[in-house]
Amino acid sequence: MPCKPIDNKLFLEHLNALLSHTRDSRTATPDVSALLPFVRDVVLEEVVIHCRGNQAKASRILGLNRGTLRTHMRRINKQNVTMALNDGGA
* pLDDT tens track for 15-38: 788 777 666 666 667 677 777 888
Evaluate whether 55 touches 73 at the Cβ level (below 8 Å).
Answer: yes
Cβ burial, residue 16 (10 Å; 0-12/13-18/19+)? exposed
Q: Can you give the pLDDT at residue 76?
A: 92
What whole-number distance in Å separates Cα of residue 78 and Cα of residue 41?
Answer: 12
Check: CATH 1.10.3470 for 8-21+32-89? no
User: What predicted TM-score, i.e. pTM, was given to this entire model?
Assistant: 0.65
CB 33 within 8 A of CB 43: no
Can you give the residue ranges of every domain in the chain?
A: 8-21+32-89
